[in-house]
Amino acid sequence: MRLLILILLPFLAIFLQSTIFHSYSIKGTVPDLVLVFVVFYAMLSASNRSVGYGFACGLLEDLYMGRMIGINALAKALIGFIIKRFQGVVFKENIWVGIIAVVIGSLVNALILFVLSFTSFTVFHVDSHMFTRVFSQTLYNSLLAAPIYVIYYRIAYSDWMRKNR
């Protein structure tokens, strides 16, 4: 059941990002829920599979988009790795920790995507619009991070989930 939820989350995230969130975009920008889920998994999961989970979620995103396959897989795997490094030294009960992790994850994600785009000779136009998009997406991700973190945290530490682990 736990595995099923973990698989369904990125599916649901892509579905929402491509449909309903376009009606509620901030400056034409939609949130990256896949990233939010990867960050929370890395923060709250006891297992050491955050790199693999990030990779799988990013790959799903890439396959759905059908372009530069692997770019999101690598970016999300690296974010899973980075966030996991801080897991033991942060106070996870504090909601601000979740929000700050998402802010860091969003900025790192944008930076990784930009750097990796060089490897395929497809460089995004670096202009004020790009910075606006990165900023808007970071803001949107962090706004959604708060309620999602509360729900994710409660589910992750619920007795029911512990039994299913």
Partner 1 sequence: MVTLVLIIFLMHYSAANRSEVSALEKWLGDVYAPLQSGLTDIQAWTQSLGTGFADKNVLKQEMEKLQQKNHILFVENQQLKENKAEVERLRNLLAFKDENTAAFDMEAARVIARSASNWYQILTIDKGSTSGIEKGMAVVHPDGLVGRVERAGRYSSQVWLITDHELAVGAIIQETRETRGIVEGTGNDSIVRMINIPYYSQIEPGQQVVTSGLSYTYPKGILIGVVESIQKEENGLVQNAIVAPAVDFDKLEEVLVIKSFLPEGEVLIEGE
Binding site for partner 1 (CB under 8 A): 14-15, 17-20, 22-23, 28-30, 32, 60-74, 113, 116, 119-122, 124-125, 127, 129-130, 133, 137
Using the minimum distance from each CB to partner 1, give the nearer residue, 95 or 116: 116
User: Residue 114 and residue 44: Cα distance in Å, rounded?
Assistant: 28
Distance CA 110, CA 116 (A): 10
Coil vs helix vs strand at 111: helix
Least distance from partner 1 to the Cβ atom of residue 36, Å: 13
Minimum CB distance to partner 1 smaller for 64 or for 153: 64
Which of 135, 57, 146 is closest to 101 using CA atoms? Answer: 146
CB 108, min distance to partner 1, A? 15
* Closer to partner 1 by Cβ: residue 68 or 99: 68
Closer by beta carbon to partner 1, 30 or else 145? 30
State in angstroms the smallest separation of the CB of 23 from partner 1.
Answer: 7
Residue 43 has which token pair? 């923060």
Paired tokens of 38: 């990867």
Report yes or no: 42 and 83 within 8 Å, Cβ to Cβ: yes
